[in-house]
């Protein structure tokens, strides 16, 4: 009798863990677009200008996007993305936040190569708090 109760508890715990794993996976969408490139460009943060060395982009199936601009500092930008079809190499980006959600507003485009690397990036943003303009212009190698 004791073995049966113990077996039922083990089966129940395993089922609960499997269900929780499925829920966690459903809440964390996998990227449908991952692209990166090293190259040359510049990012202007108000009056300061930095050389832009690399860009990493993750676009998710739910329409969200994460962009990392790598320079002397790393700038994290988030927003939404869209394109007309899967074969379209130009991605339209609407920026809605940076490292702090909701503090950036603007948009731009990301151009991909045939092998899904970043050929170019152009962004024009405004920091809602400081009112500083942020521009990024990048060409991948």
pLDDT in tens, 38-59: 999 999 988 899 999 999 999 9
Q: In angstroms, rounded to a whole number, what is the distance separating the alpha carbons of residues 108 and 104?
A: 13
Residues in the chain: 141
Q: Which residues of the chain are modeled with pLDDT < 50? A: 1-3, 5-26
Helices assigned H by DSSP within 31-108: none
d(CA 39, CA 25): 34
Domains of the chain: 31-140 (2.40.128)
pLDDT digit string (tens) for 114-125?
888 999 999 999
């Amino acid at each position: 009798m004791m073995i049966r109760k113990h077996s039922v508890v083990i089966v129940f715990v395993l089922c609960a863990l499997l269900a929780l794993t499925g829920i966690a996976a459903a809440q964390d969408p996998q990227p449908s677009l991952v692209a990166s490139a090293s190259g040359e460009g510049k990012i202007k943060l108000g009056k300061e200008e930095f050389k832009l060395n690399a860009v990493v982009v993750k676009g998710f199936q739910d329409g969200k996007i994460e962009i990392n601009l790598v320079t002397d500092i790393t700038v994290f930008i988030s927003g939404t993305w869209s394109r007309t079809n899967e074969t379209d190499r130009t991605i339209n980006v609407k920026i809605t936040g940076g490292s702090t959600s909701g503090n950036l507003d603007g948009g731009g485009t990301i151009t991909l190569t045939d092998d899904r690397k970043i050929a170019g990036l152009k962004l024009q943003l405004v920091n809602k708090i400081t009112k500083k303009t942020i521009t990024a212009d990048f060409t991948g190698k």
